[in-house]
């Protein structure tokens, strides 16, 4: 029980950010914008709300608002008012955004390849599975409520 998830995940997360900011700089995409762009790319033409983006990535809606604004300014996405619910926006990738997404994915795969190279494929799959399960638990929990007793 000596192992904690913290240190390893922290290293992976921070180095991932650094890598992305270097590798994607020529494409004018930052590490913080990337997950939004890719999700929109995978769900192209469906008009995703910012709420849905936040929910999928488990990222605060404030960060989402800023990423959307930044991607908008660069012309990678398009933003419309949802006419059936005028509070919400509908976000779409632009053609330019789709082009970039394809280039981005190639570089992401290189990264994943670098990280998992030489490791047992089944073990890597298991890692993904376990991470996914842990992330699922976090989707359902309001951390503010965990320590009501402290």
Q: Which residues bind a copy of itself (CB under 8 A)?
A: 1, 3-16, 18-20, 22-23, 25-26, 34-35, 57-59, 108-109, 111-112, 114-116, 119, 123-124, 126-135, 137-138, 143-144, 146-147, 150
Q: How far is the CB of 90 from a copy of itself (least distance, A)?
A: 22
Alpha-carbon radius of gyration of the chain: 18
Long-range contacts of the stretch 119-123 (C-beta < 8 A, 24+): none
d(C-alpha 149, C-alpha 131), whole Å: 28
Choice between 44 and 57, CB closer to a copy of itself: 57
Q: How far is the CB of 116 from a copy of itself (least distance, A)?
A: 7
Contact 83, 40 (CB under 8 A): no
Choice between 45 and 144, CB closer to DNA: 144
* Residue 40 binding result from DNA, a copy of itself, none, given CB thresholds of 5 to 8 Å by partner type: none
Contact 44, 98 (CB under 8 A): yes
């Amino acid at each position: 029980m000596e192992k904690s998830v913290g240190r390893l995940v922290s290293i992976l997360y921070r180095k991932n950010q650094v890598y992305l900011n270097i590798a994607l700089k020529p494409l004018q995409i930052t590490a913080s914008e990337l997950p939004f762009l890719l999700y929109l790319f995978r769900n192209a033409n469906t008009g995703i709300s910012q709420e849905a983006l936040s929910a999928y990535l488990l990222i605060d809606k404030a960060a989402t608002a800023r990423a959307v604004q930044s991607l908008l300014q660069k012309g990678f996405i398009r933003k419309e008012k949802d006419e059936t619910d005028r509070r919400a926006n509908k976000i779409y990738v632009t053609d330019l955004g789709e082009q970039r997404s394809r280039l981005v994915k190639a570089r992401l795969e290189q990264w994943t390849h670098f990280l998992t190279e030489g490791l047992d494929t089944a073990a890597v799959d298991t890692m993904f599975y376990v991470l996914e399960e842990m992330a699922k638990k976090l989707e359902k929990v309001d951390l503010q409520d965990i320590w009501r007793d402290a």
